[in-house]
Structure 1
Amino acid sequence: MNLALFGNLFGGLGLFLIGMRMMTTGLKLSTGKSLKRILGEWTKSPGRGLFSGFLITALVQSSSAVTVAVIGFVNAGLITLPQSIGVIYGSNIGTTVTGWIVAAVGFSVNLKAFALPVIALGAIMRLSGPTNRRAFFGDAFAGFGLFLMGISTLQMSFKGIESSIDLSSFAAMGAFSIPIFIGIGLTLTLLMQSSSAAMALVLTATVSGLLDLNQGAAAVIGTNIGTTSTAALSVIGATINAKKVAAGHIIFNMITAIVALIILPVLIKFIVFCMELLNLGHDPAIVLALFHTVFNCLGVLILWPFTGKLVSFIEKRFASSADEKGRPKYLDNNVVGTPVLALDALTLELERIRALTSRIVRKGLNSNFSYGALPTDKEAQDNLIEASRAFCAKLQSRPLTESQGQQVATALRVLQYFRTAGALCASLEKKRIKPALEKLGSDADMVTVFQNSCIGVLNVTENPCSEEFCQIDNMIHDMLSAYHDLKEKLLSAGGIGTISVPEMVEQLELFSKIRRIARQAAKGAVYFVAMKPNSGICCPTNTVKFAWNRHW
């Protein structure tokens, strides 16, 4: 093999991989909301889940993208694990569409003549709309053009190296050569992290005569096994739900591969016989595409009756790995590539942080910030906030729409409010300052009024659909009035000597911090509600912002 052929081979492979990446990313970003809607609405039953998994994978050309979306929806509680298994089944059938594209288009048309106009169209769409869906569709078109260019280059490369590589010695080994070619398909997928790219390489090599049908079929089985590596690698350090979905994906592919291996010779002969019977010839690319589709469908038929047992096995396997309070439950790096799903995951994690912050503030107010679990809760809050900030940073590195960018910015703002509230609570817990009720005498009930008004504001922010939420402006005003009344009383008591000046300063610091705690926690909660789409807020968000500007 000379250097030029070597360069053509790897250059064609590079074009194919870049094209696949651009096509998949462009389609994910342009159809993110559609992906969310389809998976959210079309998975009410296992059968519909199978169909939606097939459809989306066929359109997006990435089973990994669908698996990531499924992980996001299982994390969000929008679909159950049994429903997700149905989507995984459909996704594995959908990933066979790549083979059909290569077989049907890659070897029957002048690819370069078709690819270049497609790339030009994609570039025009990208340049004419840098921040909208048209630009993302442009990326997808350009990626498809590069995908076709890569296939064309691979075809020429394999025709050039066919005479340089002799695999006849493997053919002489008979059935013992099958594991070798399974390993080749597996290795190609592991190296390229794309079963579609490995499948195209195998089809091209078979059509070029480098592999015979049985060897090509064995390599196809290897690519099917290799695609589980993406799922296995993606769940390292991921959430428990992500691991459950990945486990279902791996189990399905392994069982399907074993079945395909057992019936490989019979199935290949049967497919060739049927094609000859229908006068369709026996084009190697079509035979292997059929083989890939048939054994994946067969795997679904075999496992479908045992889906319930498979789900039970997975649930038991991961039952002992429950998430801890300070460990993110919804943040998963797998969904960062799909901003719509990533923002959903971030919103769910912010809800956990909001609830934890509310718990810290409530118990702190009710116990003068001396309840025993405060340090533990504060540590959990810090861990969740840091993880959420890191997730936001990763999300910001992705192409986002203006609306999505604003949501991330608001999320960071919310995290800062919650962090400040928690830090103030921890500060008071360390100082152990208690209200000087005995020094206030008959006015001691002013402390209770102020603290109750703080808790009342927190209560309202947790129920944005209530009538009280629309009156939060007035509630904030009442809370601040109670604080100023208490402050005036303390200053007066210090002035006449009822309370010593150092003690008065301590008390002023205590209630000032309580005011700030309520303010920060309420601000975080209100902006969190405002950042959520379709949050059901009963009054305009501008009213809330007016409240902050007016009183705080």
Structure 2
Amino acid sequence: MIRRHGIWAALLILAWGLWINPDLKTIAGGVALFLFGMVCLEQGFKALAGGLLEQGLRRSTDRLWKSIGFGIATTSLTQSSTLVSLITISFVSAEMIKLAAGIGIIMGANLGTTTGAWLIAAVGLRVDMAAYALPALVFGVVLALQKSLTRRGLGYIILGIGFLFFGIAYIKIGFDTFQDGWDLSQYMIPGLLGVLIFTGIGMAMTVVMQSSHATLLVIIAALASGQVSYEAALGMAIGANLGSAVTTAIGGLTANLAGKRLALAHVLFNVFTAAVAIALIQQMVWMVDYLAGFLGIQDDLLFQLALFHTLFNVLGVLMLAPFVGLMERLLTRYVQFDSPNRAKPRYLYPGALETPATAVSALNKEVSHLYDNAHDLITHGVSLRRATIASKDSLEDAVRNTRRIISLDVDDEYEYKVKSLHNAIIAFISEIQGQALSENDGARIFALQQASRDIVEAVKATKHLHKNLIQYGVSSQPTARHAYDRIRLQIAQTLREIGALRAQESETVTRLSLDAFKISVENFAKTLTAQINQNVRMRALSPAVATSILNDEKYAVEICVNLLDAAAALLQPESAQERAAEGTLALDEEDRAQISTAREAVDHGDPKSTR
């Protein structure tokens, strides 16, 4: 509720501020243009770089110094630590880079933000940026309207630069005007308390604007116009660093556990750096004065602010870089965000490892639990209800009467309901394999591990199928709708068949019944393919839609076959003798092919097929 109404509250406060002081509108407009320029820059670099940023991430993670260097370089280039941080979180979440490498990149990104402060101090307020903004917008728009992705990306970058220039110019004008009507310097509080207050102000500004670069621009402009003192500007610069971590933390809310750990590492790093900068503020100011005299900028407060911003970020990296490995271990060990939506193992507990028999039994039950979760996900993925599958109602009617496709985030459901259990099953199996196992137990464990993989693959196929089902599942085009109804019906029949077999006594279930149903799945695929080809020839379907249907038919077959194979493992007899007997009854690929061919011949009225 807070998130839903927060934006409207913020807009009302902004409107009130602009009403009581119209001079603020120039500053607010400049900030808006600057932020929009940052958005254009991000879009441009994403389009222009393509996969280069991702490839660079992979290659720059084998050494900590490489990770830090990559963070510095990419943030300096894109002028967006948020972009680099969020991409890094996504890579850590996908386990494509390690947590330690992600921490290194975040450290480098913090250092990279200092280049923005230097650029703004050097040219942002000393040159008429508006004179260069209009030409940049003209060239940017022309390129952004091109079809080529590279040209569009370059166009967005130039547009972003143009809007940045406009934003800087308006903020400078706004503070010059603002100074004549309202002198903020009269509210300055000397000493540490003043630094802390302005640290909070800088943090709040960054959280609201979601850009530390925009905050630094406002700080430097305010300092240049005399609206804030040098000491207050230092506090606001520290606060800008703290606020940037909030943006990463918000991005980490939607990540998995590894991504949340990296987001927390970013917060801890920035809080530590800010605490050190505040605690050593007098020493830091002395160091800035000393280096400013050495560099010849002792009379330029803007450069001194940029130097201070650089120094405390460098200090934070130097102090924490040796402990990145320790941070990774502590975060991995103690940070365990437990989502209420995440499925937990029901049967895998340390006591189950006491004997191979109890371990195999627990594993069988947990894989069955995984199947139940996947059953629900797949059922909803084809817009049906579990109660419908479990009942004796007509599946044809249920499919035909579907009026809308159930909205489902398959990625989230997979992450919380399937992948978490599959990971726990794999970890449990690795513990079992450390014991002395009989050949019978080893074979059973292998079969259950494969069943777990089959279930996961069925869910992944559902994710692909669901995307097109949203578009064509209730299509007004009857031919496409009918084809997807047949796909949904086949999956529903498979789920019902497996449910019926699981409900029977295990000794009455044979592999033969599952193999027989697998033949019907294969025949369904052949029949549907032939029908789709005929529809294309008759112009009843476009080739594009037909391609989507045929791809989804393949996913449907994968779902059905993987579920049938998983069910075969779950329903397998416990003893080796019973499994061997069942194996002699099971059909191999050649047997199924012969039966399938015979059925097709019967369907086409070939009398030789029955001889």
**What TM-score range do you get, normalising by the shorter chain?**
0.5 to 0.7
Match of 2:213 among 175, 186, 196: 196
**Contact 1:195–1:223 (Cα < 8 Å) also in 2:** yes
Determine the C-alpha separation between the residues in 2 that align with 1:39 and 1:323.
32
Q: Which of 96, 100, 106 pairs up with 1:88?
A: 106
Q: Specify the code of the residue in structure 2 equivalent to 1:31.
A: A
- Once the two structures are TM-superposed, the CA of residue 309 in structure 1 deviates from its matched residue by 1.8
* Alignment match, 1:423: 492
> Structure 2 vs 1, CA of residues 153 and 434 (structure 1 numbering), >3 Å: closer, same or farther?
closer
Q: How much does 1:120 deviate?
A: 1.5
Aligned to 1:246: 263
Shift of 1:30: 2.0
Change (3 A) 1:381 1:263: farther
Query: 2:28 & 2:340 partners in 1: Cα distance?
Result: 44
Counterpart position of 1:343: none
Deviation at 1:29, TM superposition (A): 2.6
What CA distance in whole angstroms lies between the structure 2 residues aligned with 1:448 and 1:254?
Answer: 59
Q: Of 103, 110, 118, which aligns to 1:100? A: 118
- TM-aligned CA deviation for residue 259 of structure 1: 0.7
Aligned to 2:424: none
Question: Do residues 120 (structure 1) and 233 (structure 2) align?
Answer: no
Q: Please give the alpha-carbon distance, in whole angstroms, between the structure 1 residues aligned to 2:462 and 2:303.
A: 52
Post-superposition offset of 1:174 = 2.6
**Residue identity opposite 1:485 in structure 2:** A
Task: Assess if the C-alpha contact under 8 Å between 1:454 and 1:479 holds in 2.
Answer: no
Q: Secondary structure at the match of 2:140?
A: helix
Partner of residue 376, structure 1 = 373
- In structure 2, how many angstroms separate the alpha carbons of the residues matched to 1:388 and 1:448? 27
Equivalent of 2:409 in 369, 374, 387: 387
Seen in structure 2, the aligned counterparts of structure 1 residues 270 and 376 have a Cα distance that, compared at 3 Å, is: closer
1:177 aligned residue (155, 171, 194): 194
Structure 1 outlier segments of 4+, above 4 Å: 1-4, 322-327, 370-373, 380-385, 414-422, 430-435, 444-459, 475-481, 486-492
Q: 1:396-445 deviations in whole A, cap 9, x for unaligned?
A: xxxxxxxxxxxxx997447669977753332213444999xxxxxxxx99
Distance of aligned partners of 1:216 and 1:5 in 2 relative to their CA distance in 1, 3 Å threshold: same
3-state SS, counterpart of residue 162 of structure 1: helix
Contact persistence 1:42–1:48 (CA under 8 A): yes
SS of residue paired to 1:204? helix
Which TM-score applies when normalising by structure 2? 0.60
Give the match's secondary structure for 1:108: coil
Q: 1:53 to 1:431 in 2, by over 3 A?
A: same
Aligned partner of 1:206 among 223, 230, 245: 223
Per the alignment, residue 265 of structure 1 pairs with: 282
Q: 1:285-311: per-residue Cα shift (whole Å, max 9, x none)?
A: 211111111111110000011112211
Q: Deviations over 1:195-219 (max 9, x none)?
A: 1111111111011111121110100
Q: Which runs of 5+ in 1 are unaligned?
A: 328-366, 392-408, 436-443, 463-474, 493-552
C-alpha distance in 2 between matches for 1:325 and 1:482: 43
1:161-176 alignment runs, 5 A limit? 161-171=178-188, 173-176=190-193
**Residues 1:109 and 2:127 aligned together:** yes
Q: CA deviation at 1:166?
A: 3.2
Stretches of structure 2 lacking an aligned partner (at least 5 in a row): 1-17, 345-363, 383-407, 414-460, 470-483, 505-509, 523-556, 563-587, 606-611
Q: Is the 8 A contact 2:47 2:152 kept in 1?
A: no
Counterparts in 2 of 1:289-368, with a 5 A limit? 289-319=306-336, 321=338
2:88 maps to 1:52: no
Equivalent position to 2:42, from 24, 32, 35? 24
> Do structure 1's residue 68 and structure 2's residue 181 form an aligned pair?
no
Deviation at 1:102, TM superposition (A): 1.0
Which residue in the other structure is 2:434 paired with? Answer: none
Report the alpha carbon displacement of residue 247 of structure 1 after superposing the two structures with TM.
0.7
Corresponding letter in the other structure for 1:222: G
- Equivalent residue, structure 2, for 1:533: none
Q: Counterpart of 2:127 in 1: which secondary structure? A: coil
**Structure with the larger RCO, 1 or 2 (CA within 8 Å, 6+ apart):** 1
Shift of 1:455: 11
- Equivalent in 23, 27, 35 of residue 9 of structure 1: 27
Following the alignment from structure 2 to structure 1, what is the Cα–Cα distance between the partners of residues 297 and 320?
31
Q: CA-atom RMSD, angstroms?
A: 4.0
- Once the two structures are overlaid, the 10-residue window that deviates more, 172-181 or 33-42, is 172-181
Q: How many percent of aligned residue pairs carry the same amino acid? A: 27
1:17 and 1:180 map into 2 onto residues whose CA distance is: 25
1:446 and 1:486 in contact (8 A); partners too: no
Partner SS state of residue 282, structure 1:
coil
Provide the rounded CA distance (Å) in 2 between the counterparts of 1:433 and 1:280: 80
Mapped partners of 1:431, 1:445: distance in 2:
14
8 Å CA contact retained: 1:272, 1:282 = no
TM-superposition CA deviations, 1:367-391 (whole Å, max 9, x none): 9xx9776433312556789323799
CA offsets per residue over residues 134-186 of structure 1, 9 Å max, x none?
A: 11220111111111111111111111122433344444533321111111101
Change (3 A) 1:217 1:421: farther
Q: Distance in 1 between matches of 2:295 and 2:512?
A: 91
Distance 1:315 1:289 in 2: 35
Q: Show the counterpart of 1:36.
A: 54
SS at match of 2:228: coil
Distance, in Å, in 1 between the alignment partners of 2:70 and 2:30 is 32
Output one character per residue of 1:47-73: Cα deviation in whole Å (capped at 9) or x when no partner. 111111111111122111111211222
- Check conservation: 1:52, 1:87, Cα contact below 8 A: yes
Structure 2 matches for 1:518-529, cutoff 5 A? none
Code of the aligned partner of 2:156? D
The answer to whether the 8 Å contact 1:57/1:66 transfers is yes
Q: Which has the higher mean CA deviation after the structures are superposed, 262-271 or 53-62?
A: 262-271
Give yes or no for contact 2:72–2:108 (8 Å, CA) kept in 1: yes
After superposition, what is the alpha-carbon deviation per residue over 1:502-548, rounded to whole angstroms, capped at 9, x for unaligned? Answer: xxxxxxxxxxxxxxxxxxxxxxxxxxxxxxxxxxxxxxxxxxxxxxx
Aligned with 1:132 (options 133, 143, 149): 149
Give the secondary-structure state (helix, strand or coil) at the position aligned to 1:321.
coil
State the one-letter code of the partner of 1:245.
L
Q: How does 1:378-527 map to 2 (within 5 A)?
A: 378-381=375-378, 386-388=408-410, 412-413=464-465, 423-432=492-501, 479=592, 481-485=594-598
